[in-house]
Structure 1
Amino acid sequence: MTAVRVNGSASNESGGAFDRGLLAPMLGATVLNPINSAIIAVSLIPIARALDVRLGQAQWLVSGLYLATAVGQPVVGRLVDLFGPRRPYLVLTGLAGVAGVLGVLAPNLDVLIAARVLLGVGTCAGFPVSMYLIRSEAQRTGKASPTVVLTALAVCGQAISAVGPSLGGGLIALGGWRATFAVNIPLALFCLYVGARRLPSVRSTATLRSIDWPGVTLFTGALVAALLYLMDPELTDLYLLVIGIAAAVALVVVERRRDDPFLDVRIVSGNLPLTATYVRNMLGYTVAYTVLYGFAQWVQDGRGLSPSTAGLLQLPLALSAIAVSAITGRSPKIRNKLFVGAVVQVVVAGLLLLMHASSPLWLLFVFAAIAGIPQGLNGLGNQNAVYGQADPERIAASAGLLRTSMYIGAMTSSVVLAQLFGDDATTAGLHEVAYVLLGVAAFGVVLVVGDRSLRRVGLSG
C-alpha cells in the first residue's frame, strides 16, 4: 500500500456504519460531468450564432470535453489509488471552477473549446473518488457499502442528465449561453468546501512516475490526430489520419509490454465476445449521443424552437431512460435487453426521417420518449455483459475500457454531426444523419444476434 489515511472524515475508527458525511463530496463531483454533458446539447446553436462560427466547428465543444474525459478518467483513477482522494478531488474540482470562469469570459471559440477541455479534466474526479471511498469504507467497517450509497450516485447522475437540457434552456433564457458555463462556479465552490472538510487525507510514498505516461501520450495523440482529421477531412490533411493510426498501433505494442498499462489492451486478446461488447457499446453510444445532440440542435435550427423549449423536449428522453432502467434493472435477461435496445435504435433512426419543419410538438415529445428506451437498455446490458465475459482478475480494467468505448462513441457522434450539419442543423441534414444512424444501429443488431456468449454467461433468458 502506498497510501495510508491520516485524518479526514468523521468516522475513522474501524467498524461502524458507512460515513454519510462522504456523500456530499461524492454527489457534488458526480453532478459535474452529466450536467455539462446535458447542458451543451441546447447551447451549441446559441454559441455558434453568437460567435459567428459554423455549427460543425462548434461540435468541438462536445468532442473536446469527451476527449479530455477519455484520457483523464483512467489517469485520475490511478492518481486516486496512489495519493488518496483528497488532493486529486480538490485540484480537479477547482479546475472545473476555473473552466467555468474561462467559459464566461471566452472571447472566441478557441478559448471556449479550451474551457470545455479543462472542464472535461475537472469532471474526472467524481467516479474514481467515489469508488475509492466506497471501497475504503467497506474495508474500514468490514461491511459491504449500503445499497443506498450506490443508488444515490446512480440516481443523482440520471436525474441531472434528465433536467440538464431543461436547466440549460432556462439559463440561456435568463442570462445567455455564458450562463451555462457560470453554473460550474458555484458547483466547484461547493465541492471545494465539502471536499476540504470531509475527505480523508492520506500519507503516500508514491510518485507520478508510477503512471504510464507513454501510454497516456500515445492514446491522446491517436484520438487528437484522428479527430482533427475526421471533424474536417481534407486530402491535404490526410497525414493526420496516418499519425493517428500510427499512434494507435504504437499504443498496442507499448501497452502489451507494460505490467501496469494505462490502457490494458491484453483484456481483449483472444476474447472476441468482450471485443464485440466494446464495439456494440461504442455503436450504441454513437447513436445515443448523435440523437441527443443532433435532435436538440435541429429543433432549434430546423424546427425554429427556442433553446428553453429544446431543453424541455429532452426531458421525456431522459425520463423514459430512467424508467426503463428501473423496470428492467433486476431482470437477468441481458440478451433480450440488448436485442430490444438495438432494434429500438433502428426505429429511432427511422423516425428521424419523419421530422420536418412543421412537425407538431406532440410528435417531437413522443419521439424523445421513444429515443430514451434504448438508452435505458443498452448501457445496463453491456455493463452486465462485461462482467460475464471478462477475465475476473481484470474486471476493473475491463469496466474502465467499457467507459472508454462510451467516450469514443460520444466523440464519433461529434464527427457525424460536424460532417452532416455543417453550417446549420437543417431538416435535410437531419435526414442524412438518420440514414447514417440506420446503418450504425443495424450493425448493432447484427452484433447482438451474432454474440452467442450472451447466452453462455447464464444471464439471458
Structure 2
Amino acid sequence: MNASSRGLMIAVGLGILLNPLNSSMVSVAIARLQQAYRLDYAVVSWVIFSFYIASAIAQPVMGKASDLFGRRRIFLIGLVVAFIASLLAPMSPNFGSLISLRIVQSIGTSMMVAVGMALVRIHITEKQATALSVLSVFLSGAAAIGPFFGGMLLYIWDWQAIFAVNLPFAAASFFLARRYIPKDEVPASAVRGKTLRQWLDLIDAAGIALFAAGLVALLVGVLSAKSSGHISVWHAGAGLIGLVLLAVFVRHELRTASPFIPLRAFANYPAMTRVNVEFLLVNFLFYSIFFGLPSYLQTVRHVSELHTGLLMLSLGLCSLVASPIAGRWIDRKGPRPALLLSAILMTFGSVWLVTLNPNSPVISVCIALAAFGISNGLNSVGMQAALFASSPKAIIGVASGLFNTSRYLGTILSSFVIGLVMDGQFSFAGFRAVAIILTLTALILMWMSRRRRNMAQLDKAQSV
C-alpha cells in the first residue's frame, strides 16, 4: 500500500469513527446531563434517541446522495457539518438546543459512514480486503472505547468534552481527505437537467419525511406520557399521529418507484427478512446493556464516571478480541454455530443481570459485560455473513441498506424500552425489569438461531 492509499485510509478512518464514537461516549454522560439540565431519565434519553433516529434516516439518504453528487464531496461536507455541531454543542443554553445540535452532528457523521467504505472500494484496488478490515477496526474500536473514553473526559472536564473531542479528529480527517481522496467523477447526466420535483422523487423526499415525522411523533407521545405519569390528550394525539404517519409511510413505500426503504424486499426474500429481524433483536440486546449499565453503575451503585468507563471497557475489549476469532471460525463452519453461541451467551448474560442485587460486587457486572462483548464480536461477523448468504447478489445493495436500518431500529428500541421502564429516574427495580425483558428476548433469539440450524440441516438432507 503506497503513501496515497495510506493517507486515504487514515482520512476515511478518522472520519467514520466519529459516528460510533459519539453514539457510545454519551452512554456514560446520561447521569451528568440529568444533573446539568435538571431533567428526568426519559427526557435525557432523547440525547440517544435523536442521534440514532437521525442516523437511521441520514445514512441511506446520504448513500444515495453520494451516487448523485460524488462521494468525496459528501464526505467533506459531512466533516464540516460534524465539526460545526461539535463546536457549538458545548455552548448549548438549554437541552433543546443540545438535542438540535446532536441531530446535526448525527447527520454529519452519517454522511461519512455512508460513503467511507465505498471510497475504499473504489480507490484502493490492491489488498482491498485488508483495507476494509482496517476500517472495521476504526468502527468497532471507536464503539468499544467510547464509554471508557467518555468516562475519562467526564472525569477530567465535564459533559462538554464529549463534543469538543471531535474537533481534532474532524480537522485532521478534512485535511487528509482534501489531499488524498481523488476528486469525484460524477457523470453530468446524473446531476444536470432535473427539475426540483424530479430530485424530490429520486431521493423519495416524501418517504423520508413520513418516516421521520411518524417515528418522532410516536416516541414523543409515549415517552412524554411515561415521564409525566399520566396520559393526556396531547400525549395520545402525538402517538396516534405517529402511528398514522407510519402507516401512510408503509403505503407510500409500497407504491413509489424509488422507495427510501424498499419494503417489498422483505416479502420477496424471507431469508433476508429473518436475518434483519435477528439483527434488530441482537442490537436491542447489546445496546440495552450498552446504555443501561452505565446509568445503573452511576445512579444505583454510585460508581464514578471514570470507573464506569473502565468497567465498560471490558465489553469493548471482549468484542474486539472475539471478532477476528469469529472470522476464522465462520470461514470454516459458516455463521450458524457462531450465531447460536452468541445467542446462548446473551441469554446467560441477561439471566446473570437478573440475579444481581444492590449488594452484589460491582466487579460481578463484568461477567455480563464479557458475555455480551464476546457475543457482539461473534455477531459483528456472523450476521454480515448470514446476510450475504441469504441475499441474492442482484439486490445486495438494497440488502445492506435494510441491514443498517435494522441496526438503528434495534438501537432505538433499546433506548425506548429503557426510557419506558424507568419511572423518570433510573432505579434498581427498573434495571431488573429491563434485565427480565432482555432474558425473554435472548431466549427468542436463541430459538431463532436454533431453528436456522435445523432448517439448514433439513435443506442439506433434502439436497442429498
Same fold (TM over 0.5): yes
Aligned to 2:219: 227
One-letter code aligned to 2:334: K
Aligned to 2:143: 161
d(CA) in 1 for partners of 2:128, 2:169: 26
1:212 aligns with 2:204: yes
- Please give the per-residue CA displacement for 1:23-58, whole angstroms capped at 9, x wherever unaligned: 122111111011111211101111111111101111
d(CA) in 1 for partners of 2:315, 2:326: 17
Greater fraction of residues in helix: 2
Q: What is the TM-score of this pair, normalised by structure 1?
A: 0.90
One-letter code aligned to 1:392: K
Aligned to 1:3: none
Which residue, out of 194, 197, 218, partners 2:179?
Answer: 197
TM-superposed deviation, 1:454:
5.0
1:182 aligns with 2:164: yes
One-letter code aligned to 1:180: I
TM-superposed deviation, 1:455:
5.2
In structure 2, relative to structure 1, the CA distance for the partners of 1:312 and 1:249 (3 Å cut) is: same
d(CA) in 2 for partners of 1:294, 1:17: 43
Structure 1 SS opposite 2:63? helix
Which residue, out of 83, 87, 90, partners 1:97?
Answer: 83
**1:96-175 counterparts in 2 under 5 A?**
96-137=82-123, 143=125, 145-175=127-157
d(CA) in 2 for partners of 1:303, 1:454: 45
Aligned to 1:417: 418
TM-superposed deviation, 1:170:
0.9
**Percent identity of equivalent pairs:** 29
1:79 aligns with 2:77: no
More displaced stretch, 44-53 vs 340-349: 340-349
Structure 1 SS opposite 2:93? coil
CA contact (8 A) 2:30 2:295 kept: yes
d(CA) in 2 for partners of 1:127, 1:395: 18
CA contact (8 A) 2:117 2:132 kept: no
Aligned to 1:54: 40
Which residue, out of 34, 42, 48, partners 2:28?
Answer: 42
Q: What is the TM-score of this pair, normalised by structure 2?
A: 0.89
CA contact (8 A) 1:273 1:453 kept: no
d(CA) in 2 for partners of 1:231, 1:457: 45
One-letter code aligned to 1:212: D
In structure 2, relative to structure 1, the CA distance for the partners of 1:260 and 1:410 (3 Å cut) is: same
One-letter code aligned to 1:222: G
**1:432-443 counterparts in 2 under 5 A?**
432-443=433-444
Structure 1 SS opposite 2:184? strand
In structure 2, relative to structure 1, the CA distance for the partners of 1:265 and 1:453 (3 Å cut) is: farther
One-letter code aligned to 2:71: P
Aligned to 2:287: 289
One-letter code aligned to 1:136: I
CA contact (8 A) 2:75 2:116 kept: no
TM-superposed deviation, 1:285:
0.7
One-letter code aligned to 1:267: A
TM-superposed deviation, 1:18:
7.8
Ranges in structure 1 where 5+ consecutive residues have no aligned partner: 1-10
CA contact (8 A) 2:56 2:408 kept: yes
d(CA) in 2 for partners of 1:449, 1:327: 21
d(CA) in 1 for partners of 2:174, 2:123: 21
More displaced stretch, 387-396 vs 67-76: 387-396
d(CA) in 2 for partners of 1:242, 1:383: 35
Aligned to 1:448: 449
Aligned to 1:25: 11
d(CA) in 1 for partners of 2:438, 2:143: 22
d(CA) in 2 for partners of 1:56, 1:342: 29
CA contact (8 A) 1:26 1:129 kept: no
TM-superposed deviation, 1:340:
1.7
CA-based RMSD: 2.2
- Please give the per-residue CA displacement for 1:379-421, whole angstroms capped at 9, x wherever unaligned: 3222211111122211111111111011011111111111222
TM-superposed deviation, 1:290:
0.6
How many pairs align? 440
Structure 1 SS opposite 2:415? helix
CA contact (8 A) 1:277 1:386 kept: yes
- Please give the per-residue CA displacement for 1:80-131, whole angstroms capped at 9, x wherever unaligned: 1111122211221111112112220012211111121111101112333222
The structure 1 segments of at least 4 consecutive aligned residues displaced by more than 6 Å after TM superposition are none
1:389 aligns with 2:390: yes
TM-superposed deviation, 1:314:
0.8
TM-superposed deviation, 1:248:
2.7
Aligned to 1:376: 377
Structure 2 SS opposite 1:150? helix
Aligned to 2:53: 67
Aligned to 1:4: none
In structure 2, relative to structure 1, the CA distance for the partners of 1:456 and 1:79 (3 Å cut) is: farther
CA contact (8 A) 1:18 1:145 kept: no
Aligned to 1:426: 427
d(CA) in 2 for partners of 1:116, 1:137: 31
One-letter code aligned to 1:442: L
TM-superposed deviation, 1:245:
2.9
CA contact (8 A) 1:283 1:440 kept: yes
More displaced stretch, 113-122 vs 252-261: 252-261
CA contact (8 A) 1:221 1:247 kept: yes
Aligned to 1:266: 264
TM-superposed deviation, 1:145:
4.7
Aligned to 1:8: none
CA contact (8 A) 2:87 2:163 kept: yes
One-letter code aligned to 1:216: I
d(CA) in 1 for partners of 2:261, 2:39: 36
One-letter code aligned to 2:52: Y
